Amino acid sequence: MIRRDTHRFFIKKPRPSESFQRAADAPALPTTPFWFIFYFVNKFRWWYVAMIVLEILHATCGIMLPYAIGEIIRSVTRSTGDSKLIFDTVKQPLMLFAVLSVGEVVFGRVGGLLQTLRHPIHRQHIVRALYAYLQQHSHRYLSSSFAGALAHRISETSLGVTQTMSMLITEFMPVIIVYIVSTALLYRAYPPLAAFVGIWAVFFISISFWLATRSRFHARRAAAARSDTTGIIVDSVTNLVSTKLFARLGFERHYLNERLKYELIQVRRSNWYSERIRWFQFIASAILKVGTVFYSLFLWSRGKISAADFVVATSLSLLIISEARNLSKRFLEFFEHIGNVSNGVGTIVQPHELIDRENAIAPSITQGKIEFRHVDFSYYSGKTVFNNLSVTIQPGERVGLVGFSGSGKSTFVNLILRLFDRQSGQILIDGVDIGDMTQDALHTQISLIPQDPSLFHRTLLENIRYGRLDATDEEVFEASRKAHAHEFIMRTKEGYDSLVGERRVKLSGGQRQRIAITRVILKDAPILILDEATSSLDSITEKAIQDTLDLVMDGKTVIVVAHRLSTIAHLDRILVFDQGSIVEDGTHAKLLAQRGAYYRLWQMQAGGFLPEKDDHNEHLEFQKQRPA
Ligand SMILES: Nc1ncnc2c1ncn2[C@@H]1O[C@H](COP(=O)(O)OP(=O)(O)OP(=O)(O)O)[C@@H](O)[C@H]1O
């Protein structure tokens, strides 16, 4: 009995496989941080307009409060002193004060609510777009990047966009509004007072910005040192068994200590710089506070401003100081968020190397004929793997690929799967150039069982259903029985609902291969590629599965990459690779009779495996033995 409620992400209703085949719809994303942020903000523009308006109202209410207090004082000082009439006199400014106080709270909180509701959705939107974009990257890109680092970049970039916007709206905009409105209010009272505060504000913002840009360098170094230390701890913990087996626990502690010393130096430098910034801010705030009080007092004593203006000026200076608090730190955080967006965009939003052509077609492969016509290929310029390679594999043919390590077998398969694009020539399947097909169409019709299949950290059932999403439970069971996977699956605690991965069900290489075979049975594609698919199995299971594979291969074009010649001896045809060329082509019996390269490989194969033969001298030896 399958229990399906154990895993939250289980796709409860199997959907037809085709409904997920719209993977190629990745959006074209802007490649500079500014336009990237703009692109996503524009998608939610009305929400952002609402947030900005609310924040303007919120900040304006806040900054007008000292003005209202000033008006109350002005009214009180103008009153006759009759306590009964005082309320009538201050009624209006009091109302204004009350409305502004309520407005400050309401606009602030409604704006906050919008951000709370919208930012997670906005973030998910960015995650989805970046992930879809990442999916379209080539095998070369993905295999040369760390999966964890890419996932981290997606998360940091999406957070970077929302945090950048959040800081602009709720951190910097209020500061600007407070400075502008307070300067205007003070201007009404006495222009030179406004000039004093205004000049202070310009200097303060400029110096804070400058200090933030300078401290960035130190902050980055400190962050890099911290992350290096984390990396060393992770590496050390991963290799803890080796550490113990080599009795190097003390050595590892010493190694970490050295790293920690370096980290300490960097962190102290960064902290010291932050401390200097704090000094600047305290001194600048004190200058504004004391300066405003003394200057206003002086102006009042000369009758230039009223007592109410004096209160307004001192309250405004306190408000400005509270808004300006940690401005450099906030600039620094802002740079970090922009930096995260910039890094993410730079890493992920690179041009796709392998894309479907404009009018790519999705033909059905009915026969499975594979042709290489004059194919040239190199992974990097200057290192040719295939030079003018031509070969045809007939529909339904079962072909084994053999050759020493590095001779080009996997590259041959990679090109059929279009994991890399050939530089010239053509690769055709059923007469259609694979470059003219959509990658989805190509991959739907080719099954691959890799040597070391990797499984998702999902349930066994989900992993198997990856072959065909709409397969019924019965079809899944039947396929796994055929692949001899059912028995060991049922022995696990939760059967098909067992989760695969760390701290969950751990599968051996052979068991993973059987799951991969089960998937392929469900997928039932007309072309099948096996990369020594039975290499991790014990000989009894291998024999049983070989029979199943023979059944699965029936009616399909099959390519088997083999390291053990015994696994391919029974196939229709064997292609012998050497340094990117097919040097022999024929049946096992024919090639043995030829007494050429294959014959020697067969003889050299001690214990069933081909010897590794990367060594240049050995290769020359092999060449010498080749019949002329
Ligand atoms: N991703 C890659 N990037 C750069 N060069 C590569 C890449 N993969 C393979 N090569 C190089 O291409 C050549 C052919 O390698 P390939 O993997 O096709 O050989 P192979 O016969 O499959 O070897 P093995 O039996 O060890 O898997 C080798 O020189 C190898 O170093």
Q: Is 323 within 8 Å of 174 (Cβ atoms)?
A: yes
- Which 3-state string (H, E, C) describes 127-160? HHHHHHHHHCCCHHHHHCCCHHHHHHHHHHHHHH
Q: Is 335 within 8 Å of 218 (Cβ atoms)?
A: no
ipTM comes to 0.97
pLDDT at 628 over 50: no
Q: Look at ligand 1, atom 9, and give the residue with the nearest C-alpha.
A: 411
Mean pLDDT value across residues 126-142:
93
pLDDT at 84 over 50: yes
Q: Is 446 within 8 Å of 414 (Cβ atoms)?
A: no
Cα–Cα distance between 526 and 445 in angstroms, integer?
6
pLDDT at 618 over 70: no
Q: What is the pLDDT of residue 541?
A: 66
Could you report the per-residue pLDDT of 275-324, keeping only the tens digit for each? 888 889 889 989 988 998 999 999 989 888 888 888 888 888 888 888 87
| Ligand 1 center–CA 295 separation, angstroms | 79
Q: Look at ligand 1, atom 11, and give the residue with the nearest C-alpha.
A: 406
Q: Is 401 within 8 Å of 577 (Cβ atoms)?
A: yes
**Residue 535 near ligand 1, beta carbon < 6 Å:** no
Closest CA to 559 of 394, 371, 401: 401
Cα–Cα distance between 135 and 131 in angstroms, integer?
6
DSSP single-letter state for residue 28: P
Cα–Cα distance between 240 and 229 in angstroms, integer?
16
Q: What is the pLDDT of residue 426?
A: 95
pLDDT at 85 over 50: yes
Q: Is 369 within 8 Å of 395 (Cβ atoms)?
A: yes
Q: Provide the residue type at 606 as one letter.
A: A
Cα–Cα distance between 139 and 410 in angstroms, integer?
13
Supply 204's token pair. Answer: 């303060």
Percent of the chain with pLDDT over 70: 89
**Residue 452 near ligand 1, beta carbon < 6 Å:** no
Mean pLDDT value across residues 519-528:
93
Q: What is the pLDDT of residue 8?
A: 43
Closest CA to 622 of 592, 577, 588: 577
pLDDT at 335 over 50: yes
pLDDT at 454 over 90: no
| Ligand 1 center–CA 519 separation, angstroms | 26
Question: Please, which residues bridge with residue 437 across strands?
Answer: 361
**Residue 532 near ligand 1, beta carbon < 6 Å:** no
Could you report the per-residue pLDDT of 366-392, keeping only the tens digit for each? 889 999 999 999 998 878 999 999 999
Cα–Cα distance between 551 and 528 in angstroms, integer?
12
Q: What is the pLDDT of residue 614?
A: 43
Give the three-class secondary structure for 425: strand
Could you tell me if residue 627 is left (phi over 0), alpha (psi between -120 and 50 degrees) or otherwise beta? Answer: beta
> Global pTM?
0.80
- Which 3-state string (H, E, C) describes 436-478? HECHHHHHHCEEEECCCCCCCCCEHHHHHHCCCCCCCHHHHHH
pLDDT at 220 over 90: no
pLDDT at 20 over 90: no
Mean pLDDT value across residues 388-407:
92
Q: What is the pLDDT of residue 241?
A: 92
**Total number of residues shown for the chain:** 628
DSSP per position, 365-378: -SS--EEEEEEEEE
Cα–Cα distance between 189 and 304 in angstroms, integer?
9
Percent of the chain with pLDDT over 90: 43
User: Can you tell me which atom of ligand 1 is nearest the CA of 143?
Assistant: 1
Cα–Cα distance between 575 and 448 in angstroms, integer?
19
pLDDT at 122 over 50: yes
pLDDT at 534 over 70: no
Q: Is 450 within 8 Å of 516 (Cβ atoms)?
A: yes
Q: What is the pLDDT of residue 616?
A: 41
Query: Residue 93 — very low, low, confident or very high, per pLDDT cuts 50/70/90?
Result: confident
**Residue 613 near ligand 1, beta carbon < 6 Å:** no
Residue to mutate (ligand 1; options 389, 401, 411; most atoms within 8 A of CB): 411
Q: What is the pLDDT of residue 71?
A: 86
pLDDT at 364 over 80: yes
Q: Is 448 within 8 Å of 379 (Cβ atoms)?
A: no
Query: Residue 250 — very low, low, confident or very high, per pLDDT cuts 50/70/90?
Result: very high
Query: Residue 190 — very low, low, confident or very high, per pLDDT cuts 50/70/90?
Result: confident
Count the alpha carbons within 13 Å of 317 in the hemisphere toward its beta carbon. 25
Instruction: Report the b/e string of 558-571 with b at 16+ CB within 10 A.
Output: bbbbbbbbebbbeb
Query: Residue 331 — very low, low, confident or very high, per pLDDT cuts 50/70/90?
Result: confident
Q: What is the pLDDT of residue 623?
A: 46
H or E stretch at 568: none
Q: What's the mean per-residue pLDDT of the chain?
A: 85
Give the rounded distance of the alpha carbon of 20 from its chain centre: 21
Query: Residue 607 — very low, low, confident or very high, per pLDDT cuts 50/70/90?
Result: very low
pLDDT at 547 over 80: no
| Ligand 1 center–CA 606 separation, angstroms | 23
**Residue 407 near ligand 1, beta carbon < 6 Å:** yes
